[in-house]
Amino acid sequence: MKIGFDHKKYLEEQSKYILERVNNFDKLYLEFGGKLIGDLHAKRVLPGFDENAKIKVLQHIKEKVEVVICVYAGDIERNKIRGDFGITYDMEVLRLIDDLRSYELDVNSVVITRYEGQPATTVFINKLERRGIKVYKHAPTKGYPTDVDTIVSDEGYGANPYIETTKPIVVVTAPGPNSGKLGTCLSQLYHENKRGNAVGYSKFETFPVWNVPLKHPLNIAYEAATVDLKDVNMIDSFHLEKYGEMAVNYNRDLELFPVLKKIIEKITGKESIYQSPTDMGVNRVGYGIIDDEVVAEASRQEIIRRYFKTACEYKKGQVDKGAYERIKMIMEELNLKPEDRTVVIPARDYSNKLKENADKNDACPVVAIELTDGRVITGKGSDLMNSTAAVTLNAIKTLANIDDELHLISPAILEPIVNLKTKTLGSRNPKLSCEEILTALSICAVTNPTAQVVLDKLPLLKGAQAHSTTILSKNDEQTFRELGIDVTSDPEYPSQNLYYAN
Which of these, 162, 236, 159, 233, lies nearest to 193 by C-alpha position? 162
- The answer to whether the CB of 441 falls within 8 A of the CB of 353 is no
Domain assignment of residue 331, yes or no: no
Q: Any residues with CB less than 8 A from the CB of 184 and at least 6 apart, and which? A: 68, 70, 111, 113, 138, 163, 172
Let me know whether 351 and 259 are in one domain.
no
The per-residue pLDDT for 77 is 96
| Amino acid letter, 297 | E
- Does pLDDT of 174 surpass 80? yes
Q: What pTM, to 2 d.p., does this model score?
A: 0.91
135, β-bridge pairs: 110
Same domain, 356 and 279: no
Instruction: With beta carbons less than 8 A apart as the criterion, state whether 408 and 450 touch.
Output: yes
Question: 269 with 355, same domain?
Answer: no
- The reply to whether 294 falls in a domain is no
Do 272 and 402 belong together in one domain? no
Does 83 have pLDDT greater than 80?
A: no
- Count the domains in the chain: 2
Q: What is the rounded average pLDDT of the residues 410-417? A: 87
Quote the CA–CA distance of 123 and 103 in Å, as a whole number: 28
Residue at 155: amino acid letter:
E
Residue 417: is its pLDDT beyond 70?
Answer: yes
Same domain, 172 and 101: yes
Q: Do 280 and 349 share a structural domain? A: no
Same domain, 133 and 273: yes
Min mean pLDDT across 86-95, 142-151, 243-252, 356-365 is at: 356-365
Q: Which spans in 23-114 are helix H?
A: 40-45, 53-60, 73-77, 89-102
Q: Per the domain annotation, does 229 fall within a domain?
A: no
The proportion of the chain whose per-residue pLDDT surpasses 90, expressed as a percent, equals 79
- pLDDT over 70 (residue 502): no
Q: Is residue 254 part of a domain?
A: yes
Q: Report the pLDDT value the prediction gives residue 501, as an integer from 0 to 100.
A: 59
Query: Could you give the percent of the chain with pLDDT greater than 70?
Result: 99
Taking CA atoms, 254 is separated from 31, 34, 115, in Å, by 16, 17, 27
Q: Inform me whether the pLDDT recorded for 362 exceeds 80.
A: no
Residue 49 lies in a domain: yes
Is there a single domain that holds both residue 283 and residue 348? no
Question: 346 and 483 in one domain?
Answer: yes
Name the domain boundary from 255, 270, 288.
288
63: domain CATH number is 3.10.630.10
* Domain span including residue 407: 341-489
Neighbour count for residue 361 (Cβ, 10 Å): 8
pLDDT at residue 37 in the model: 87
pLDDT (tens digit, 9 = 90+) per residue, 396-412?
999 999 998 888 898 88
Q: How confident is the model at residue 154 (pLDDT cuts 50, 70, 90)?
A: very high
Instruction: Specify whether 269 is located in the same domain as 409.
Output: no
Residue 21 covered by a domain: yes
Q: Single out the residue in 273, 288, 303 at which a domain terminates.
A: 288
What's the rounded mean pLDDT across residues 443-448?
Answer: 93
179-219 pLDDT, tens digit each? 999 999 999 999 999 999 989 999 998 999 999 999 999 99
Q: How far apart are the C-alpha atoms of 128 and 117, rounded to whole Å?
A: 16
The whole-angstrom separation of Cα 435 and Cα 438 is 5
Question: What is the rounded CA–CA span in Å between residue 85 and residue 94?
Answer: 13
CATH of the domain at 352: 3.40.140.40
pLDDT confidence band for 361 (50 / 70 / 90): low
pLDDT of amino acid 44 = 96
Which of 332-346, 399-413, 474-488 shows the lowest per-residue confidence on average (mean pLDDT)? Answer: 399-413
Q: Is residue 258 part of a domain?
A: yes
Q: What is the pLDDT of residues 86-100, one digit of tens each?
A: 789 999 999 999 999
Same domain? 268 vs 367: no
Give the 3-state secondary structure percentages of the chain, helix then strand then coil, rounded to 5: 50, 15, 40
pLDDT for position 404: 83
Structural domain contains residue 306? no
CB 112 within 8 A of CB 125: yes
DSSP assignment of 114-155 equals T-S--HHHHHHHHHHHHTT--EEE-PPPTTTTT-HHHHTSTT
pLDDT: is 20 or 302 the higher one?
302
Judged by DSSP in three states, 397 sits in helix
Q: How confident is the prediction for the chain on average, in pLDDT?
A: 93
Q: Pick the residue with more confidence: 66 or 1?
A: 66
The predicted pLDDT at position 360 comes to 65
Q: Are 467 and 487 in contact (CB under 8 A)?
A: yes
Same domain? For 391 and 274 the reply is no
Q: Which residues of 250-260 are buried (b: 16+ CB within 10 A; e: fewer)?
A: bebbbeebeeb
